[in-house]
Amino acid sequence: MTETAAKATAAVAFAPPTRFAVPGRVAVAGEAAAVWQTATITGVRRETPHASTFRFAVPGWAGHLPGQHLMLRLTAGDGYAAQRHYSLASAPDDSGHIELTLDHVVDGEVSGWFHTVARPGDTVEVRGPLSGFFAWPGDRPALLLGAGSGVVPLMSMVRHHRARALDVPLRMVVSARSPEELIYARELGPETTTVFTRAAPRGVPVGRMAATHVAPLLAEQPAGGWEAYVCGSNGFAEHASRLLVAAGQPVDRIRIERFG
Amino acid sequence: MNITRGFTGRPRTENAGLPPGQYDAGDDWPVLSAEVTPELTVADWSFRIDGLVDEPRTWDREAARTLPASAYTGDIHCVTGWSKFGVRFGGVSLDAFLERVRPHGSATHAVAYSHTGYTTSLPLADLTGGRAWIAFEYEGRPLPAEHGGPARLLVPHLYFWKSAKWIAGLTLLDHDEPGFWEQNGYHARGNPWEEQRYSGD
Ligand SMILES: Cc1cc2nc3c(=O)[nH]c(=O)nc-3n(C[C@H](O)[C@H](O)[C@H](O)COP(=O)(O)OP(=O)(O)OC[C@H]3O[C@@H](n4cnc5c(N)ncnc54)[C@H](O)[C@@H]3O)c2cc1C
C-alpha cells in the first residue's frame, strides 16, 4: 500500500450534507484484493438449463462475507486476458473452496468458456473478495430481492443464515422466467417467495415482482428495520428498488448490486 | 503467465483507445449505481463548491447556464471492464465553476458528493485544466436519470465511478478523504491506463 493510500484509510470518512448516505458494511482488505490467486475447478453442478455452479479450490482464499464478489480472469495463449466480476455463491467457511454460479450469456466470452470448455482440474485466476457495500455480516434483518443470476449473492446470505443458525429475520423474494430457470430451486425454503415472469406451474400466477410481494414483508417490521439487498439486471434493480421505496423502505437502507 | 486451457477469447481488435483489461461495450451503457435512482428534478438540482476556497458558492440550473457551455467528445471507462467510445456530453467545464470560487493554494484534493449521498474523492489536479465537467446532456439530450441526470460530474480520464451521478457539490481539502468506493477498497486515483482498480494496484 502506498503512503497516500494508508493515510486515506486512516482519515475520517467525509459526510456529505445531503439527504442520505448508505455506508459500507465492512472494512475491505486492500491487500487480499490486490493479489491474483489460482483457483482450480473441483466440481461443476448444473442448476438450470442456462446456469451452472462451479466449485473452486483456492488455497489462499482470505475469506469473504455473503454478498461480496470477486474478479475472475481468463488468459489466452498469446497473453490476451478477459476479466469479469462474479458474486460469491457459497457461504463463508474454512473449506479452502468457493463457489460461483454463472449464467450462460449467449456469445459470452467468459461465461461461454465456463459453459462449453471448463472441466474439473482447469485453473483460472481470481482476486478478492471485493467491495464491502453489498456485504451482509449476518447482523441486521435482511430483506433480499433478486432476479435471474441476481439470486447468487443473496443465496450466499441465505446459506450463511442457515449454516450459522442465525435468528435474525431473513426473507427473500426471487424472480425467474419459469420454474426451470429458477436457480437453486431445490435449496429454497420457507424464507423464500418465488415470482415467475413467463411461465409458472398450474395455479400460480405469472407476472412481474409487484407491491403485493413486497408489502407483506415490509409490514413485518423486524426490530431495527430491514436492510434491503437488491440484485439483478439494471432493469430489475430499478423496478425492485422502486417497489421497496413505494412500500416505505428508507432509501438509505437499500443496497443495490447491478450486474449491468 | 497463467494460461487458461482452451480459452482463446474474442478476436483481437487493434484498438489503441482501449486501456488494459477493458472491452468495448459498443452501444451498451451499463448502469452500476449502488443506490436507488433518485427522483431529482432540474428545479431541485443544485451544485455547490466549498471547503478551501475564497468564495463558497451554490449554483442552480439557471445560474449554471450563465457559464460558458463546453462539451466532451471521447471515451469513458468503467472499472467493471467496459469502455464506451465516442460519447458526447454537453455541460460546463469545472474550470469555469472553480474560477468563480477561487481555490486556495493549499487545496490538493476534493470530495465530490451526490444528491443521494454518494461520495468520491479526487486529486484536485484531475478536476482542472479542461479535464472535468458538470454534464447536463448526453448525445444532445438531457442526461437520463439512471445515468446521473439532471447533472453528473464527468472526469473521463479516470474510471467512471469518479464521475459522480446526481452531483451536488465539491468540497476542496488539503488531504485525501476516501469516498464511497474508495472506502470499499477501490483505488484513490483510478487511472484506467495504469489499471488502478483497487487500492494496492
Ligand atoms: C458485481 C457483479 C457481480 C456479478 N455476479 C455475477 C454472477 O454471480 N453470476 C453471473 O452469471 N454473472 C455475474 N455478473 C455478470 C458478469 O460479470 C458478466 O458480465 C457475465 O458473465 C457476462 O460475461 P461474458 O464474458 O460471458 O459475456 P461478454 O462477452 O461480456 O458479453 C456480455 C454482453 O456484452 C457483449 N459484449 C461484450 N464484449 C463484447 C465485445 N468485445 N464485442 C462485442 N460484444 C461484446 C456481448 O455480446 C453480450 O451481449 C456480475 C457482474 C457484476 C458487475
Per-position pLDDT tens, chain A of length 260: 333 333 333 344 566 655 445 556 656 555 567 789 999 999 999 999 999 999 999 998 999 999 999 999 999 999 999 999 999 999 999 899 999 999 999 999 999 999 999 999 999 999 999 888 899 999 999 999 999 999 999 999 999 999 999 999 999 999 999 999 999 999 999 999 999 999 999 999 999 999 999 999 999 999 999 999 999 999 999 999 999 999 999 998 999 999 86
Q: Quote the ligand 1 centre to B181 CA distance (angstroms).
A: 21
Residue B11 lies inside a defined structural domain of this protein: no
Residue B29 lies inside a defined structural domain of this protein: no
Residue B189 lies inside a defined structural domain of this protein: yes
Residue B3 lies inside a defined structural domain of this protein: no
Contact call for residues A199 and A206 (beta carbons, < 8 A): yes
Q: What is the pTM of this model?
A: 0.89
C-alpha cell at B102: 477561487
Residue B32 lies inside a defined structural domain of this protein: no
Residue B31 lies inside a defined structural domain of this protein: no
Chain A residues near residue B114 by CB distance under 8 angstroms: 16, 18
Chain A residues near residue B34 by CB distance under 8 angstroms: 22, 133-134, 255-257
Domain membership of residue B90 as a residue range: 38-194
Q: How confident is the model at residue A14, as a pLDDT?
A: 63
Q: How confident is the model at residue B85, as a pLDDT?
A: 96
pLDDT band at B5 (very low <50, low <70, confident <90, very high): very high
Chain Cα centroid distance, residue A28 = 17
Q: Inform me whether the C-beta atom of residue A221 falls under 8 Å from chain B C-beta atoms.
A: no
Domains of chain A: 14-130 (2.40.30.10), 142-253 (3.40.50.80)
DSSP string, A87-129: E--SPP-SSSEEEEEEE--TT-HHHHHHHHT--TT-EEEEEEE
B92-106 per-position pLDDT tens digit: 999 999 999 999 999
Which residue among B37, B114, B177 places its CB closest to the CB of A14? B177
Q: Inform me whether the C-beta atom of residue A117 falls under 8 Å from chain B C-beta atoms.
A: yes
What is the distance between the alpha carbons of residues B46 and B33, in angstroms, rounded to a whole number? 20
Contact call for residues B64 and B137 (beta carbons, < 8 A): no
DSSP string, A34-74: HS-EEEEEEEEEEEETTEEEEEEE-TT-----TT-EEEEEE
Q: Is the CB of A69 under 6 A from ligand 1?
A: yes
Q: What are the phi and psi torsion angles at A129 (to 5°)?
A: -75, 155
**Counted domains in chain B:** 1
Which residue among B34, B114, B200 places its CB closest to the CB of A30? B200
The enclosing domain of B119 has a CATH number of: 3.90.420.10
Q: How confident is the model at residue A31, as a pLDDT?
A: 59
Residues comprising chain A, all counted:
260
DSSP bridge pairs for B121 = B111
Q: How confident is the model at residue A2, as a pLDDT?
A: 34
| Cis preceding linkage at A92, omega within 30 | no
**Residue A141 exposed, middle or buried by CB count within 10 Å (0-12, 13-18, 19+):** middle
Terminal Cα distance for chain A, rounded: 30
Q: Is the CB of A107 under 6 A from ligand 1?
A: yes
Residue B39 clears pLDDT 70, i.e. is over it: yes
Q: Inform me whether the C-beta atom of residue A6 falls under 8 Å from chain B C-beta atoms.
A: no
Residue B5 lies inside a defined structural domain of this protein: no
Residue B95 lies inside a defined structural domain of this protein: yes
Q: Inform me whether the C-beta atom of residue A62 falls under 8 Å from chain B C-beta atoms.
A: no
